[in-house]
Amino acid sequence: MKKLLIGGMVAASMFAMQLSQAATICDVKASLNDARSKLVDMVKSGDKAAKGEGTLRNQVDAATTKLEEAYTAMLGDDKKADDAKLGTFKETWEAFKNTRETGIMPALAKGDVKAAKDLAKGVQKDRLGVMNGIVKELGGDDCK
């Protein structure tokens, strides 16, 4: 009985570890696309009132959290060859997120949709290209 109980606990523990590290490049890709598309929707709508549950802002934040959890879990995997690429992805994402929070969101809050669009179509577009390139290199084209 004791062996069965210990065996079950070990199996449950291993399963939990696999779930926590089960993030794939497809999770990164989906979350990146979701975060970007919700931000584009905000810019297009000139969403100044980004408060309250269910708003585009909350959706951007939720997608951001999923993205960061996914690439962090991937960094913890034993694929050290991918760590440099994922590190570059993370640095690019941090710059992307910083510009979103310090440039695009304040511009939208002021009602300056043009400034928000200029940032989105400029440096953010370049950063998105870098991130999508890394996703592609890590097998993101195979995602369904």
pTM (predicted TM-score): 0.77
What is the pLDDT, as a whole number, of residue 12? 43
What is the pLDDT, as a whole number, of residue 75? 80
Domains and CATH numbers, the chain: 23-142 (1.20.120)
DSSP string, the chain: -HHHHHHHHHHHHHHHHHHHT---HHHHHHHHHHHHHHHHHHHHHT-----STTSHHHHHHHHHHHHHHHHHHHHTSS-HHHHHHHHHHHHHHHHHHHHIIIIIHHHHHHT-HHHHHHHHHTHHHHHHHHHHHHHHHTTGGG--
Mean pLDDT, each 10-residue run in order, the chain (144 residues)? 50 41 83 92 72 74 93 75 84 96 91 92 95 92 85
What is the pLDDT, as a whole number, of residue 18? 41
What is the pLDDT, as a whole number, of residue 128? 95
Place of tokens 């979350």: 31
